[in-house]
């Protein structure tokens, strides 16, 4: 059994045991500074829709509620915790300070619509709520943009899972080995980047 198939099967078992609540919690984490990608959370939920164990409405509602909950927590971290909080605790969540600064510059340049647009951009969507808090963006605008953007993105990812479920496990078995190689390659690159960045940081202190 390949890595991809193993993860997919265990994710499905986890969802079947915990229901929509797990989708809500994972998407809450995804919308904060935790390294939880929505691309790994929602397609398996879509597969369960194809199997008749979840409903499309249930997945979209629970995931979008999670998205707005996590985003609001990050928003208030930006307001009340500010940069000191990020400087002190960000490293424990693998928070990339440069990515946060880029998100803040983008927010300052393009304004409120950034909250909607960045829901479709990997990495940045985990962080963009914090700059919105820094800038004390209107809470109602923030919530509306977040809900609309998150609902659209969540619906798309869930739809890919439904299509995957309709295609059946044969598709996963056929391409699972290739996907495994890609995933392992990305993990290796991420590890190399992490240690290289840590090495440069330590070297600069000398």
The boundaries of the domain holding residue 191 are 168-206
Q: At what angle do helices 3-18 and 20-30 cross, to 10 degrees?
A: 120
Q: How many domains does the chain have?
A: 2
Residue 173 and residue 80 share a domain: no
Residues 6 or more apart in contact with residue 7 via CB below 8 angstroms: 40
CA distance 105 to 82: 15
Angle at 88 between CA 85 and CA 92, to 5 degrees: 105
Residue 19 and residue 58 share a domain: yes
Residue 179 and residue 163 share a domain: no
Per-residue tokens: 161 = 């899972």
Query: Half-sphere exposure (CA, 13 Å, Cβ side) for 149?
Result: 23
Q: At what angle do helices 139-167 and 169-205 cross, to 10 degrees?
A: 130
Q: What is the mean pLDDT of the chain?
A: 76
- Quick one: residue 7, left, alpha or beta (phi over 0 = left, psi -120 to 50 = alpha)? alpha
CA distance 174 to 194: 32
pTM recorded for the entire structure: 0.72
Residue 189 and residue 128 share a domain: no
CA distance 51 to 206: 57
Judged by DSSP in three states, 7 sits in: helix
- Quick one: residue 37, left, alpha or beta (phi over 0 = left, psi -120 to 50 = alpha)? beta
Over residues 3-27, the pLDDT tens digits come to 455 556 677 788 888 899 999 999 9
Over residues 125-178, the pLDDT tens digits come to 777 788 788 778 889 999 999 999 999 999 998 998 888 777 665 555 554 455
82 pLDDT exceeds 80?
no
Residue 146 and residue 186 share a domain: no
Cα 96 versus chain centre, distance: 14
Better pLDDT: 49 or 181: 49
Residue 106 and residue 46 share a domain: yes
Cβ atoms of residues 117 and 149 within 8 Å = yes
Cα 39 versus chain centre, distance: 7
Q: How high is the pLDDT of residue 43?
A: 86
CA distance 70 to 24: 10
63 pLDDT exceeds 90?
yes
28 pLDDT exceeds 90?
yes
Over residues 105-131, the pLDDT tens digits come to 766 666 677 788 778 777 677 777 887
Residue 173 and residue 145 share a domain: no
């Amino acid at each position: 059994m390949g890595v991809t198939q193993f993860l997919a099967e265990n994710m499905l078992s986890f969802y079947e045991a915990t229901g929509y609540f797990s989708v809500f919690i994972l998407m809450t984490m995804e919308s904060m500074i935790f390294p939880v990608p929505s691309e790994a959370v929602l397609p398996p939920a879509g597969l369960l829709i194809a199997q008749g164990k979840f409903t499309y409405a249930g997945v979209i509602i629970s995931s979008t509620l999670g998205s707005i909950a996590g985003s609001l927590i990050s928003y208030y971290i930006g307001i009340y915790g500010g940069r000191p909080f990020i400087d002190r605790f960000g490293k424990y969540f693998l928070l990339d300070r440069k990515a946060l600064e880029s998100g803040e510059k983008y927010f300052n340049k393009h304004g409120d619509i950034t909250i909607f647009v960045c829901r479709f951009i990997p990495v940045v969507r985990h962080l963009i709520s914090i700059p919105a808090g820094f800038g004390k963006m209107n809470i109602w605008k923030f919530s509306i943009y977040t809900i609309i953007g998150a609902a659209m993105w969540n619906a798309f990812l869930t739809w890919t899972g439904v299509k995957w479920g309709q295609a059946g496990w044969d598709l996963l078995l056929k391409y699972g080995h290739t996907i495994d190689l890609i995933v392992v390659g990305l993990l290796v690159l991420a590890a190399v980047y992490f240690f290289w960045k840590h090495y440069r940081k330590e070297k600069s202190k000398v």
